[in-house]
Amino acid sequence: MGIRSSGKGTQSKLLAKHLKIPHISTGEICRSIKDKDTPLAKKVKKYYDKGILVPNNIIIELLEERLKESDCKNGVILDGFPRSVDQAEITKDILKFDQVLALKVSDEEVLNRLTGRRYCPNPKCEAIYNIYTSPKPKKEGVCDKCGTKLAERKDITREVVMENLKRYHAENDPLLEYYKDKGILTEINGEQTIEEVHQEIIEKLKIK
Ligand code: AMP
């Protein structure tokens, strides 16, 4: 579990590779079907494009289909599901979690990671920067690699991120408590380098 920009996708892929089991992201499942020409895909797209949660019956059906595939028989790293106590309760008989990992990143860090993003709009370059975290451009507002003036995503404003944080906490905090009560929650400090976060996960899960 972890908010957008927490490194959840990166870490779950690394852990899946380490354990040699599939990484299953419900967000990626939605992305892979949303532009298809089927009634189900059209429904998914409607929610996905607005950045809101796809209804439980749809997302659970899509996930169940994927979990039936043979590569899942030794377990999976699930990324992005469940997103609410409701989803956890509905699926508690089909999903038996050994551990739930929560990547902790402060709201301030999330704001910096998201609003600090800059990119080089030169199509031959497309370098990515972050003015608060890293990599910072050497000269303010200018691409290190090609000298083009850096651009920022107009849709990621402070207000939008604050709103996302509010929504995330409302959905996610009760879920953290839910898994804490079950004794299977492991919290990980997400404010470290990718490799350090990965090592903390390996150590806390006591896997080699
Ligand atoms: P993500 O890549 O995890 O940020 O997910 C992208 C989008 O996929 C979300 O904004 C939702 O529209 C959809 N989605 C992913 N996981 C879920 C879920 N567990 N429940 C409902 N919708 C989801």
pLDDT at 208 over 70: no
Select from 121, 24, 16 the least CA-distant residue to 82. Answer: 24
- Encoded tokens for 109: 């860090």
What does the pLDDT look like over 1-17, one tens digit per residue? 999 899 999 999 999 99
pLDDT of 153 reads 87
Identify the residues whose C-beta falls under 6 Å from ligand 1. 4, 26-27, 30, 47-48, 51-54, 59, 80-83, 87
Report residue 156's pLDDT band, with 50, 70 and 90 as the boundaries.
confident
Report how far ligand 1's centroid is from the alpha carbon of 26 (Å).
6
Distance CA 137, CA 135 (A): 6
What does the pLDDT look like over 62-92, one tens digit per residue? 999 999 999 999 999 999 999 999 999 999 9
Counting DSSP H helices and E strands in the chain, the numbers are 8, 6
Select from 6, 28, 5 the least CA-distant residue to 78. Answer: 28
State the chain's mean pLDDT as an integer: 95
Q: Contacts for 71-76 with beta carbons within 8 Å, 24 or more apart?
A: 71/22, 72/21, 72/22, 72/24, 74/21, 75/19, 75/21, 76/16, 76/21, 76/22, 76/23, 76/24
What does the pLDDT look like over 166-177, one tens digit per residue? 999 999 999 999
Smallest CA separation from ligand 1 atom 4, residue: 27
Is the bond leading into 82 cis (omega within 30 degrees of zero)?
yes
Pairing of strands 117-119, 128-130: antiparallel
For 104-130, what is the mean pLDDT?
95
Record the pTM. 0.89
